[in-house]
Amino acid sequence: MPNWCQNNLVVRGDPKMLDVIQELEFDFETLNRIIDGKEITKQDAYEIFLHSESYSEQLFKTANTLRDQNKGRTVTFSKKAFFNIVNLCRDTCSYCTYKAEIGESKLSMMNLEDVKKLAKQAKKFKCVEALLVTGESPEQKYDEAAKWLGKNGFSTTGEYLAHCSELVLKEGLFPHTNAGNLNRSEMKELKKTNVSMGLMLENSSQRLSEEGQPHYGAPSKDPKARIQILKNAGHLKIPMTTGILVGIGENDFEIIDSLFTIKMIQKQFGNIQEVILQNFEPKPDTQMKSYPSAPQEYFKRVVAISRIILPDMNIQIPPNLSPTNYNDFLDVGINDWGGISPLTLDYVNPEFSWPQINTLEKKCTEQSFELKARFPVYPKFINMINPNLKEKIEKLADNENYVRREFWR
């Protein structure tokens, strides 16, 4: 049963935490101090979140104030094309519909001509970002993947991605690679052509990798491995997108721990450019097909506490996963919608269509926000990227380093 159904499930597997919950009392002064600039402690965050259902209005107001203080009334998105390079994967996550098997109709193995063709189409649609996505090291499990790579002249997915990045960059798109647990040398090579990269932490809990849990069949989702890769990116000064998946069986304490793990990495390296908060939605062809999605009010409280823990972070929710009320999240602390494509599907969540950009802009305006298109690297992080990439961005950027309107409209 999901953790939002019964309060005592936040401590499942750790009876000692029952005593902690009983000792916690909600203190409005904690929220006031946060608004005044006091950094929140993990204990404060536990206290606030565990009482958040009863005091959601105060929580949302605080998150909204912090967003306005740190990000103003600008909300951003990236106009992208999703390059589904290869969706074979050595891992099996209980909730994932992206992964394909040999012979399935959804299998994607893009050759270089496919990549170039999509890049040219994307430019016609005035896309700015090329999101390059693969499964986790498929050549380590599938002979077919190794042969496919060899046919294209490469031996690893990392090598192939580096070449694909060069191709899309030549066509005028800015690559952002999300390919799982790449090693340090692969990341260093990809930095030459990628303005940013992505790796979801998902959750910092080791418990979710135990037998019967969603990451049991996915060794790459070991949080220790993911944390190390995010740190490697920090050493390499690569702007990184990370985030958590909400509603896969984690408990409230694990949500808070995950957010503080990201906060710690950001404090140490300063290269985490955004945090995605993605709400789980069950997929019919997965082991978790009967598992309920997180209720929207619960998810809104997660978003709000994320803003409180990470007051100056760029915080994103995917609008297509909350199609009927995504604009509500503007009132709980977000400042970004992520990548939106006028051309390609969201292959990770194919049943959810992207919103129309015109509609998105209208909803933002109605709530007194200004929608701006950004590059796959946020303005604050442009100085981290290679000089040749920075030069390309400057040709399309306005004086705030967002995409000039004529290049995306």
Which CATH number is 202's domain given?
3.20.20.70
* pTM of the predicted structure, to 2 decimals: 0.92
Is 123 contained in some domain? Answer: yes
pLDDT at residue 120 tops 80 = yes
Give the chain's mean pLDDT.
Answer: 92
* pLDDT > 70? residue 294: yes
Domain membership of residue 109 (yes or no) is yes
Instruction: Report residue 243: phi and psi, to 5°.
Output: 165, -175
Q: Is 7 domain-assigned?
A: no
pLDDT at position 25 is: 52
Lowest pLDDT segment from 1-10, 114-123, 354-363: 1-10
- Domain contains 62: no
- What is the pLDDT at residue 2? 53
Per-residue pLDDT at 231: 98
Q: Give the model's confidence band at 114: pLDDT under 50 very low, under 70 low, under 90 confident, else very high.
A: very high
pLDDT of 54 reads 86
Q: Is residue 184 part of a domain?
A: yes
Q: What is the pLDDT of residues 208-258, one digit of tens each?
A: 999 999 999 999 999 999 999 999 999 999 999 999 999 999 999 999 999
- Domain-embedded: residue 339: yes
Give the pLDDT score at 389: 98
Q: Among 22-31, 242-251, 263-272, 304-313, which is the least confidently predicted range?
A: 22-31
Give the residue-averaged pLDDT of 355-364: 96
Paired with 198 in beta bridges are 241
- Spell out the alpha helix ranges (H) of 37-156: 42-50, 56-71, 112-124, 143-151
pLDDT given for residue 21 in this prediction: 42
R_g (Cα) of the chain, nearest Å? 21
What b/e string do you get for 186-212 counting C-beta neighbours within 10 Å, with b at 16 or more?
Answer: bbebbbebbbbbbbbbbbbbebbbeee
Q: Is residue 54 part of a domain?
A: no
226 contacts 100 by C-beta, under 8 angstroms: no
Tokens of 264: 């710690």
Yes or no: say if 304 and 63 are a contact pair by the CB < 8 Å rule. yes
pLDDT tens-place string over residues 8-55: 344 434 444 445 444 445 567 888 888 888 889 999 999 899 888 888
- Mean pLDDT confidence for 361-377: 97
Percent of the chain whose pLDDT exceeds 90:
88
27 in a domain, yes or no?
no
- What pLDDT sits at residue 34? 85
Domains identified in the chain, total number: 1
- 8-22, 24-38, 112-126, 174-188: lowest mean pLDDT where? 8-22
In single-letter form, the type of residue at position 326 comes to Y
Whether the CB-CB separation of 226 and 408 falls below 8 Å is answered with no
Span 63-83, average pLDDT: 97
Query: Residue 122 is part of which domain span?
Result: 69-407
Q: How high is the pLDDT of residue 32?
A: 83
